[in-house]
Amino acid sequence: MTWSLKSGSSIIANMATAWCFGGCLLAMASTAAANTGAAQLLRLNYQSQIDQSKRQFLVYLPKGYAEKPQQQWPLLLFLHGNGERGNGLDELDYTLIHGPLYEAWIQKRDLPFIILVPQLHMFQMGSVPYIAARQKSAIPQRLSQGVPPRPQMSESVQPIRPASPVVDMSKVPALLPDGWERAEQDLLAMLSTVQQQYRVDKSRLYLSGISYGGFGSWYLASKHPDLFAAVAPVVGWGHPDLMPPIAKAKTPLWVFAAGRDSAINKDYFYPGIETLRQLGHTNVRFSVLEQAEHDAWRQIYAGSDLFDWLLQQKRR
């Protein structure tokens, strides 16, 4: 299937074969899966409003989607971290390394969501060491039989820190440089297209992201507070300045931090969480995995608690 997103939110959908930029196997597997009721992974085309480049994003259709033509499915938008950026073509599969799509497609878990996974532009991040040195051999493969072993969570030399005085967030910028906010219009166009062309339960749109994607989740939740039924930022804190629209909409939140995180200071989570409390928002969960390093998302998405909680949330 080929989709085109044009600027100005004009949407054109055409039935065709999927583009094959290092992802032909995914496209062929999806075609076969559509006839068996198995899960499908599609690569959909769009034109970015950021730079007018032709790119792709991933859409996962859960097991049973083709067999139940009357059923509507919740949609989960996942925003990846900094290390999975790319050109949206032959680098798109880096987004399979972490998160719900890794669980559903690589680990073959029966997650009852349509999962939408875009890839953030590289912008000026190509020289970041862990991006410049990455290898495509690190991209996990879906096996014809069984599943690959899960990677071990990172060990940390960081101490488990006691609570420190609340940091002064007035001196901390609300957004990271070259983050997901730059792709806002692309993300909205993708959501609109997938809702129009697939059987999405529009009252159950969910958003989650890790690290840079966690920051992006806060941003989208603040800018579009009536869009999502629930939001789950993982190891990415939210600035207090972003909280008023979220509190007003009473968006259900489950926020995750890592106690031994060497990339993100967990103390930065508390001012935003406290701002929500002061604004009267009570539907907020805040979990700190005290023993975890920055890759706490491995433990979070490997379990079922977050997915079960998301499915309980429905936008009024």
CA distances from 162 to 123, 159, 189, 259 (A): 37, 9, 43, 9
Residue 6 has pLDDT above 80, yes or no: no
Query: Is residue 213 one of the residues assigned to a domain?
Result: yes
SS3 267: helix
Confidence of residue 250 (pLDDT cuts 50, 70, 90): very high
H or E element that contains 270? helix 269-278
Whether the CB-CB separation of 189 and 47 falls below 8 Å is answered with: no
Instruction: Give me Rg for the CA atoms of the chain.
Output: 19
Residue 27: which region, alpha, beta or left (left: phi > 0; alpha: psi -120 to 50)? Answer: alpha
3-class DSSP string for 4-40: EECHHHCEEEECCCCCCCCCHHHHHHHHHHHCCCCCE
Mean pLDDT, residues 3-31 taken together: 37
Q: How high is the pLDDT of residue 37?
A: 80
Is the pLDDT reported for residue 222 higher than 70?
A: yes
Structure-model confidence comparison of residues 34 and 298, the more confident one: 298
Report pLDDT for 233: 98
Lowest mean pLDDT among 13-27, 130-144, 178-192, 295-309: 13-27
Summarize pLDDT for 89-109 with one digit per residue, the tens.
999 999 999 999 999 999 999
Q: Please report whether residue 150 resides in a domain.
A: no
**Domain with 32 in it: what CATH number?**
3.40.50.1820
Helices and strands in the chain: count of H runs, count of E runs: 9, 10
Mean pLDDT of 290-314: 97
The answer to whether residue 140 sits within a structural domain is: no
3-state secondary structure of 97: coil
Between 32 and 253, the more confident residue is: 253
Question: Does the structure show a pLDDT above 50 at 17?
Answer: no
Average pLDDT of the residues in 177-200: 96
Q: Is the pLDDT of residue 2 over 60?
A: no
Instruction: Judge whether 209 and 216 are in contact, CB under 8 Å.
Output: yes
Whether the model clears a pTM of 0.75, i.e. scores above it, the answer is: yes
More confident residue, 29 or 269: 269
Residue 152, in any domain of the structure: no
Q: What is the C-alpha separation between 41 and 198, in angstroms, rounded?
A: 13
Question: How many other CB atoms are found less than 10 A from the CB of residue 110?
Answer: 9
Residue 156 forms part of a structural domain: no
What local confidence, expressed as pLDDT, does residue 128 receive?
Answer: 81
pLDDT at 34 over 80: no
pLDDT (average), residues 209-234: 98
Residue 118 within any structural domain of the chain: yes
What's the domain count of the chain? 1
Domain range holding 51? 2-123+168-312
Tell me whether residue 151 is in a domain: no
What does the pLDDT look like over 71-92, one tens digit per residue? 999 999 999 999 999 999 999 9
| 161 inside domain | no
Residues 151-181 pLDDT 10s: 888 887 766 565 566 788 988 988 888 899 9
Yes or no: say if 76 and 208 are a contact pair by the CB < 8 Å rule. yes
Given a cut of 80, whether residue 18 has pLDDT beyond it is no
Average pLDDT of the residues of the chain: 87
pLDDT tens for 50-70 read: 999 999 999 999 999 999 899
234 bridge partner residues: 210, 256
Q: Residue 253 pLDDT more than 90?
A: yes
What residue type is 2 in one-letter code? Answer: T
Angstrom distance (rounded) from CA 174 to CA 54: 30
Residue 8 pLDDT? 32
